[in-house]
Structure 1
Amino acid sequence: METTLSNDEEVPNIETDVQGKKSIKYWTVDVEDENGVIKKGETLRLRDVWVLPHGSKVIVPWNKEGQPIDEAGGLLGYFMGLVAGNFKNFPISYEKWPLIPKEPYKNDAFKNIIQRRFKVDDNGHKKYILKNLGRKWKDDRCKLFQDYHKPELTREQNLALCPTGKGVTLEQWATFIDYRLREKTLKMCEQNAANRERQAIPHTLGSKTIARKKHELEIANKRPLTRAEMYPITHKRKDGSFVNEEAREKSHLGRVRGMGFGVCPSQISKSEGTSSSSSLEMAHVHEELAENKATISLLQAQLAYFVKHYMGGQLSDDFPTANHVAAGSEAPMQTRPSSSASHEPQQNQPSNT
């Protein structure tokens, strides 16, 4: 069988999947050969993708938000994990993903590794794939340091632990260690760890993406699902409880939640979910107003001080109060007399002359 492997490319030794479990999963996908003939329902393992016949590609369906879905989307995700985790493709000596040159690294990985095996385009698909690779590279690079660097050892002893099996050269390993041990980097990593601790809201889908789960549910229910519906589904346990208190608090609308990786706010229609969630939004507004009564009272006291000193000390009966604001009523403020009026002589007043 003729494969798509180049002379310097070899099939990875895939003993486990990207989560460290035994790689025995089969994916049911459609494959298009070099003549454009589509074979539906092909069952492939992750390893099989590397040795597809020349010109054959897995067809990946995408949703309207530009995310891969179905079984092929899952297979692509696992495959990208292997690509990002091989540091021959993206050296760890670069401090950040944006600093890795498009040529040869990013474009080569997309065109000669991924696009040769998956039917994806050079526009939106490529943008998503490179963004996803960057996130995986960052996570794998961080894990590499945790697994192979020993803080109790000297620099020379740690250099001897270079993970060459991960595609890392000694020179890259030395550069990476020196970067990670800089004071500025240590502070940044400490802050990042603290941020992750505060923002840790795990979803309950395992390795399945939110986009794939949403697509499956929409097929089963024969209708679109809103973000308001998806967020609880992806962040609740089987018993119906949220994974943690933060997930429960953030289950209201207002953010791009329940959509998964790769979606930005500009892609989401403002009208989506309006009819099904308007009552929830109003309840949230009233809750916030109730919580802010103390602030409203303070503002009212400040306004009263202003009136006392600059408006003659008189408040109109219809001056807005905390109750007006909390109830959502509108009460006009008393109009302040013009500065010129205060200097005009009053009729029937005796003259000082």
Structure 2
Amino acid sequence: MFAASDAKKRKGRKTTEFWGVDLIDSDGIVKQAKMSVREAMKRSLNGSKIILRFNEELQVVRDGAGLLSGILGALSSDYSKFPICEKNWGKVRGKDRVYDDCIEEMFHFQEDSGGRIKQTFLQQMGRSWKDTRGRLYDSHYKPTRTLEKNLDNCPAGIPREHWWWFIDYRNDPATKAKCKQNALNRKKQLYTHTGGSKSLARAREEEALSKERLGRVRGMGFEPTPSQLFRPSSQPPVDKAQTEEAQRMLFKLQVEVTVEKLRRKTVEDEVAAEKLKRKAMEDEIVAEETKRQALESVLSYVVQQQGGELPPDIAAQINSLDGHGGK
């Protein structure tokens, strides 16, 4: 699979990491298992599904979150499911089919009425799809090569015509302007996630809950709150200062996302205006050429009517024109 070969190349990421998860079969029997992304992708679950647990914000927690993240990344990197030849994730077709056939068939969880879980999973896949495309361009395309040689270096699992479309799209001046602006925006980020592959939701959950004991299942579907699982005396106190700092950082990140969208829109508008200006200049040149050809036709007709000669004063004016004399 292309997804597997691409995953091996990702710097610092383990492709054989095993996650401790719970499996539930068709009879409702739950058992614990250690599973890697590769094993889960092979669908060797014998009719069982991987249980996903959520916190109050409908974020996946515990080891299931790590396994889910790896599987979503592998699916989004499979360009037989999600073609590379689209300008953005919103234009990619087949997302609902992959969600129904793969994610819902592989994982056991209760859908929320507002569809937030599905939206979050698809957004995560979209980010991975975009990031993988960027890595493919950097690793397989070289500006010093000819187009033909770059096409011959098409990544495995991607049709040659799709790769050609993607190269043409990435080399478009508008796309280059967006990539440059995005790189500048990333340099301005004040906070970075330093928890490795572990999400903030998983880290927060592990700080509040003790390690799960063998054979015990704390619940199905959405994860209960810690107060429902433990006595108040065993629950560690919530650090109010940390909570306020997390909320402040979240607000700041939301502001940065909004500013980035506005900057991106500005770049797109500038590129569109430049294209319109260039088109207007080309139309003006064509119009002037048409006028010149019409004038030459009229002059030719007048010369024929004069027996091949023009009056001296008219001939002098024509000879003074740049490159056009009466003949």
TM range (shorter): 0.5 to 0.7
1:323-334 alignment runs, 5 A limit: none
Residue among 77, 91, 95 paired with 1:106: 95
Cα deviation 1:48-100 (Å, max 9, x = unaligned): 21233342110000111121100111111111111111111211101001111
Task: Flag the 1:17–1:108 CA change in 2: closer, same or farther, 3 A.
Answer: farther
**1:173 is matched with which residue?**
163
**2:220 is matched with which residue?**
none
Task: Flag the 1:63–1:99 CA change in 2: closer, same or farther, 3 A.
Answer: same
Query: Is 2:107 the counterpart of 1:94?
Result: no
Shift of 1:203: 2.1
Shift of 1:109: 1.4
What secondary structure sits across from 2:105 in the alignment?
A: coil
What secondary structure sits across from 2:33 in the alignment?
A: strand
TM-score, L = length of structure 2: 0.62
1:143-182 alignment runs, 5 A limit: 143-163=135-155, 165=156, 167-182=157-172
Using the alignment, how far apart are the partners of 1:143 and 1:227 within structure 2? 40
Using the alignment, how far apart are the partners of 1:117 and 1:19 within structure 2? 27
Using the alignment, how far apart are the partners of 1:89 and 1:106 within structure 2? 8
Using the alignment, how far apart are the partners of 1:147 and 1:72 within structure 2? 31
Alignment check: 8 A CA contact 2:76 2:126 kept: yes
Tell me which moved more, 20-29 or 81-90: 20-29
Task: Flag the 1:82–1:253 CA change in 2: closer, same or farther, 3 A.
Answer: closer
Which runs of no fewer than 5 residues in structure 2 stay unpaired?
A: 211-233, 255-327
1:15-26 alignment runs, 5 A limit: 16=8, 19=11, 21-26=13-18
Using the alignment, how far apart are the partners of 1:10 and 1:85 within structure 2? 7
**1:62 is matched with which residue?**
54
Using the alignment, how far apart are the partners of 1:172 and 1:14 within structure 2? 17
1:175-254 alignment runs, 5 A limit: 175-199=165-189, 201-220=191-210, 222-223=235-236, 225=238, 228-229=241-242, 254=248
What secondary structure sits across from 2:161 in the alignment?
A: helix
Corresponding letter in the other structure for 1:106: K
Task: Flag the 1:128–1:169 CA change in 2: closer, same or farther, 3 A.
Answer: same
Task: Flag the 1:161–1:228 CA change in 2: closer, same or farther, 3 A.
Answer: farther
Using the alignment, how far apart are the partners of 2:65 and 2:90 within structure 1? 25
**2:250 is matched with which residue?**
256
What secondary structure sits across from 2:250 in the alignment?
A: coil
What secondary structure sits across from 1:29 in the alignment?
A: strand
Which runs of no fewer than 5 residues in structure 1 stay unpaired?
A: 1-8, 232-250, 261-353
Shift of 1:183: 0.7
Using the alignment, how far apart are the partners of 1:35 and 1:14 within structure 2? 37
Task: Flag the 1:80–1:15 CA change in 2: closer, same or farther, 3 A.
Answer: closer
Higher helix share: 2
Alignment check: 8 A CA contact 1:28 1:72 kept: yes
Count of aligned pairs: 228
Using the alignment, how far apart are the partners of 1:118 and 1:80 within structure 2? 12
* Percentage of pairs with the same residue: 31
Shift of 1:38: 1.3
Q: CA RMSD in A?
A: 3.1
Using the alignment, how far apart are the partners of 1:65 and 1:17 within structure 2? 33
Using the alignment, how far apart are the partners of 1:209 and 1:69 within structure 2? 8
Shift of 1:191: 0.6
Using the alignment, how far apart are the partners of 1:219 and 1:109 within structure 2? 33
Query: Is 2:37 the counterpart of 1:46?
Result: yes
Corresponding letter in the other structure for 1:177: I
Corresponding letter in the other structure for 2:248: G
